[in-house]
Each structure stands twice: as C-alpha cells, then as structure tokens.
C-alpha cells in the first residue's frame, strides 16, 4: 500500500480555519501494520520492508502488545525518525541506518542511538477501515488508541517509548515558532475534512519547509545533468557552496542557459564556466559539507552584484537568526587560538540552543560578558540593562532585575552582547523546589584533571548502588561536575544533608585525593569536592555554555564511558562539541525524564536514621 503524499507549497494555505497543522519531521515515511506479536510490518513509501533495520521499534511494539493487550490489527501512518529535539529529526542518521546490512551493526546502533516511529494517522483499527473518515476524526481515534496502548501523545526525547504520536494544532503561528526556534524541517497542513487517499499526491495535505535562503552567483553549468553550480565571495576568492536544479521554470532555464553559453569564460567536456555575474536566491534546508540540501531556485536578483554575495552574509542567513536581533560587528575577533570571530560564536549559540534551552528555562540568569572577547576585561551582569529590547523577559528577585532567557530571541541577543558565560541557579524563579544536586570536582589545575576523572568514576559507582541516575559534564575549565536531577518537592535542607554526606564519604574513603578545604593554599594538591557551592542563591555554569578562557572551551555534557584516565578538558572546543552533537547526540537527552525515577526520598530517610 503506497502512502498519501502532500504537495509542496512556498506560502501559507488560505482559509486557515479549515486546516490543522503538524510538525513535519525529516525521516523515513513508514506504514506500520501490527497484526499480532509475531506479525509486524513497517513498509517504506516504495514498499520496502524496514522493520529489521529498526529492531528497537519492533521490540517496543511487542512490549506494549504484551503489556496493554490493545485491540488488533492496527494500521498506522507515520515517520521513522531520530529525534534531536522535540521538533527536529536527524535525517542523515536515519538514512545511514536504512542502508545498513549487517545485523550486528544495526543492533549496536539501535542501542546507542535508537530511532522512534512517530504516528500521525490511523488507517485501520480491528476490522474497521478509517481511511474515508475526516482527518480530525481519524486523529481522535488515533489519540484514543495511543492512550489505551500507553503511547506518548507527543514526541518526547530521552524516553524508552519507541512509538509516539504527532499531535496537531490549529494555530499556524504557534507551530511556525516551534519549527523556527528548534530548526525543524517544516510543517504539514492538513484539511480537517480530508480523507486518507492511498498513493495520491493531494492538495488537501500541504507541506511547508523551514527554508533557509542564500544570495549567491552562478559559477558553471553541468551540461550532463543541467545542474547549476553556485558560489559566494570570501574576500576575493570564489567559494563553491553547492548546486541547484529544481524550482526554475523551463522558460527561465532556457534563457539562463543561453546567457551562460554567450558569456562562457572556459569550457570542458562537462562544464561551462562563467565569471560571477548572475545573482540568484536559493532556498534550501541545510548546508552540510559545502553542499546545499534540497536546494530550490527562488528568484533572480537583478538588483545585486556578485560583490554583495559574501560568505559572511551566507553564514548569517544560514544560522536562521531571529529577525529582531541584529548581529553587530560579526567579524570581531573573540579568541586568538582557536581563531573565533563573533559570527562563529553566534552560530554556535544557534546550534546549541535546543540543548541549553531546558537548563535556562525559568532560571534567574547571570552572565559574564566579554565586550572585547579574550582581548579585554570581562564583567558579571545580573541586572537587565536599560537598553534591553522589550521582548526580553525579566523578573525582580532580591532587588535585582534578572533576565529570564526563555526564547531564542533573548538568547541570541545576549550572544550579540558578548555574554560568553551563562550561569544558572539550581531552581527556577517561580518555584522553591531544588531542581538538581550538583557536585563540583575542582582539581588544582588541568594537569590534575585525572583526579576529577577518578573521583567522578567512584561517585558513579556509589550513586549506582543508591540507584540514582547521574550525569557528568566538564566545567569548561579544569574540572568536572556531577548532576543528580530531582523530582519535585525537595528543599535546600534535604539536598544539603545529602551533599554533605557524599563529600564526607569521599574524603573519608579517598583521603589521599579528596579534600573539602575551602582555602586553596591548604588543599595540598588535592581535588576539592565543592559541595558548599550547591546552595540557595549560588550558580553554576550551564551545560553547553562556553567559558571565558583563552582556549575557548565549552562546559560539555559527557557520556560516562568517556571518562577514561587520559581524558583532557582541552578536547571540548566549540567546533568539537557541534561535531559530537551531530555524530553522537546529546549525552544528557534523558536528563529531564530521569527525575521521576530517582529514589531520593529513600536516601533521605536512610540519612535521617544515621
């Protein structure tokens, strides 16, 4: 059975009251048929069986069949994804999995980076065929079935459920905001009364991509396949950025080819090269390894010259920054080695926003600003400055007007202000509960970083025995920090008794390595276990924040298996962190979902009885 397909549009649909809007995820389309425990099929849009490529999805289906005993058979329409965040999938990783042949490698990837089936439509249930029902009716039945089967009603990162549901919204602007902030692929608009039409590309389902755009010039024509190669200037050098074919009309293509041939600079068997002169605007989804992904011609730019098409402007546009934030002096140098300019830093912030955002949400923010990068003085900023834009949310606490960084606009504005370090307290401004326990392991210098690695490993063993789920990150300087996320309801009195117990346990069991001495001159080269820092009113560097040191290091979440004796903090630079996020995902993706699994009450009861 071939799936129903949406039509691509470049504008909003009319009569929006007649439409429902879903997040579009970039993955493999899949029709899921669940007949029984033994008969599970997951077919691609071309009829290829995919279930063996995604054994984690099959295992979860078998689990909920046994646990909930839902009425079968069931036929679902959906997308196979690897969620980077709640609104975005990593398509290249799904594509790699789909091409794998070796079952051992498939199983290994299923354990390391599990994929998820996101169901957005219910086609048949039991003996009832639902294809002719209106979309909203099918969606209601899908939601009811998901509730019966214990399936999450929205995509959630970091949980064990490998089948989840995609909900819809009626407010297009709300969906657009989520897609933009979290760099999702786009939006599906579906007519509320539309039936499911097998194998048909229809205008009752529309897809709107989250396009980026680039202003560039044509450099050559591939005479074999008709592709146009495009580039931009990096000072006086032409930099190739990819090629396009789709989106240009036959009439425009004919005229363009004539101009290219008439203005040929040089020609080979395959290519006709031209001097930069013809400026165009291209829509695309991503720029990966110097290639535009899904490029579409948008328009000729007759009012631009090639000198207007620069790599700096392209990188600013590619970052998809909020329109209300102007990036001033993007070429300003911030670090000497590695050489990092302001534009590089702002682009880093844009990429890590989905990962740092949960930790900034509703926290009283303290930043350290470096107006001249590492070349000048820095200062702490707690109070929101008078010149802050109206969209910056603030709240008054202890006579300080703190910034609450709850959206991308505020985050990028702070980046443009050269706020390099983001420090957060251990609770939100609107709650008294403590959100997490944090231990700061501070060696005398980076030369003794191995001491932090050793003690972090010992703490992991202890916390495992206590059945506590823990997370570790570099401080971005010379130490490590261990986090224990907490469920609601715990006070500073509760957490201080725990942190004090752990610190004294470490100094008693590893006296040659650990100390709780506050004065540096009395630590005698030992690792300082800072449990005093975990207190009301104190702050700690946020995960993925950069640090104001000469190396441009990042406070980086780690996988526990990365803690080996020769691990070095210098490894975790801005470039390295972005690369590992793309390749490995976030080590802390299960952080928030670990809260309710923590037996912290039992531990406090034990401590009170000692």
As annotated, the active-site residues are 24
Q: Which CA distances in Å does 10 have to 14, 207, 297, 322, 366?
A: 12, 9, 12, 20, 41
Q: Which residues touch 446 (CB under 8 Å, ≥6 apart)?
A: 477, 478, 568, 569, 570
The secondary structure of residue 582, as a DSSP letter, is H
- Are the C-beta atoms of 432 and 489 separated by less than 8 Å? no
Report the distance separating Cα 198 and Cα 447, nearest Å: 64
- Are the C-beta atoms of 188 and 21 separated by less than 8 Å? yes
Neighbouring-strand partners of residue 21: 169, 189
The dihedral formed by the CA atoms of 73, 79, 81 and 83, expressed in degrees to the nearest 10: -100
- Which residue is listed with tokens 């202003």? 215
Q: Is the dihedral of CA 347, 353, 359, 361 positive or negative?
A: positive
Report the distance separating Cα 106 and Cα 101, nearest Å: 8
- Burial class for 286, CB neighbours closer than 10 Å (0-12, 13-18, 19+): middle
Report the distance separating Cα 77 and Cα 123, nearest Å: 7
Report the distance separating Cα 340 and Cα 170, nearest Å: 43
Chain Cα centroid distance, residue 364: 23
Give, for 118, the enclosing helix (H) or strand (E).
strand 116-125
Report the distance separating Cα 108 and Cα 38, nearest Å: 22
- Are the C-beta atoms of 241 and 229 separated by less than 8 Å? no
- Are the C-beta atoms of 169 and 20 separated by less than 8 Å? yes
56: left (phi over 0), alpha (psi -120 to 50) or beta: alpha
If one counts every other C-beta atom within 10 angstroms of the C-beta of residue 30, the result is 25
Report the distance separating Cα 57 and Cα 274, nearest Å: 51
Tokens of 118: 């996101």
């Amino acid at each position: 059975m071939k799936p129903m397909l949406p039509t691509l549009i470049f504008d909003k649909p009319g009569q929006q009251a007649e439409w429902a809007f879903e997040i579009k995820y970039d993955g493999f389309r899949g029709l899921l048929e669940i007949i029984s425990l033994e008969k599970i099929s997951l077919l691609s849009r071309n009829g290829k069986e995919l279930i063996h490529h995604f054994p984690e999805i099959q295992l979860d289906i078998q689990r909920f069949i046994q646990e909930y005993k839902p009425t079968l058979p069931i036929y679902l329409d959906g997308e196979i994804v690897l969620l980077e965040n709640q609104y975005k999938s990593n398509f290249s990783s799904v594509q790699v999995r789909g091409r794998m042949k070796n079952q051992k490698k498939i199983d290994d990837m299923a354990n390391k980076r599990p994929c998820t089936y996101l169901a957005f439509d219910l086609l048949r249930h039991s003996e009832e065929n639902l294809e002719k029902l209106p979309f909203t009716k099918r969606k209601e039945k899908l939601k009811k079935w998901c509730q019966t089967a214990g399936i999450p009603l929205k995509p959630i990162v970091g949980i064990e459920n490998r089948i989840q549901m995609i909900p819809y919204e009626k407010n297009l602007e709300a969906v657009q905001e989520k897609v933009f902030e979290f760099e999702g692929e786009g939006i599906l608009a579906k007519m509320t009364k539309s039936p499911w039409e097998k194998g048909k590309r229809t205008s009752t389902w529309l897809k709107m991509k989250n396009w980026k755009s680039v202003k560039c010039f044509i450099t050559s024509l591939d005479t074999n396949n008709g592709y146009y190669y495009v580039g931009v200037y990096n000072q006086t050098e032409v930099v190739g950025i990819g090629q396009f074919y789709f989106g240009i009309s036959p009439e425009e293509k004919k005229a363009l080819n004539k101009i290219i041939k008439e203005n040929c600079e040089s020609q080979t068997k395959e290519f006709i090269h031209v001097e930069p002169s013809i400026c165009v605007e291209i829509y695309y989804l991503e720029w990966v390894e110097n290639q535009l992904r899904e490029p579409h011609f948008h328009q000729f730019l007759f009012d631009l010259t090639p000198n207007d098409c620069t790599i700096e402007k392209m990188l600013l546009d590619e970052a998809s920054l909020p329109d209300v934030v102007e990036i001033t002096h993007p070429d300003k140098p911030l670090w000497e080695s590695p050489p990092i300019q302001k534009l590089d830093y702002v682009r880093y912030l844009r990429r890590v926003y989905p990962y740092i955002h949960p930790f900034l949400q509703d926290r009283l923010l303290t930043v350290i600003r470096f107006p001249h990068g590492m070349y000048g003085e820095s200062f702490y900023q707690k109070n929101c400055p008078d010149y802050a834009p109206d969209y910056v949310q603030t709240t008054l606490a202890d006579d300080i007007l703190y910034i609450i960084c709850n959206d991308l606009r505020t985050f990028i504005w702070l980046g443009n202000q050269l706020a390099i370090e983001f420090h957060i307290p251990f609770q939100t401004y609107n709650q008294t509960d403590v959100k997490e326990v944090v231990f700061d392991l501070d060696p005398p210098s980076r030369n003794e970083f191995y001491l932090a690695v050793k003690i972090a490993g010992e703490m992991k063993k202890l916390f495992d025995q206590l059945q506590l789920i823990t997370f570790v990150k570099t401080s971005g300087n010379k130490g490590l920090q261990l986090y224990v996320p907490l469920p609601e309801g715990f006070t500073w009195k509760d957490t201080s008794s725990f942190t004090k117990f752990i610190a004294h346990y470490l100094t008693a069991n590893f006296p040659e390595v650990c100390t709780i001495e506050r004065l540096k001159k009395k630590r005698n080269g030992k690792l300082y276990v800072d449990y005093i820092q975990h207190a009301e009113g104190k702050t700690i560097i946020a995960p993925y924040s950069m640090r104001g040191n000469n190396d441009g290091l990042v406070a980086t979440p780690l996988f526990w298996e990365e803690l080996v004796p020769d691990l070095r903090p210098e490894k975790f630079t801005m470039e390295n962190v972005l690369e590992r996020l793309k390749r490995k995902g976030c080590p802390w993706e299960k952080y928030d979902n670990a809260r309710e699994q923590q037996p912290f009450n039992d531990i406090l009861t034990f401590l009170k009885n000692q």
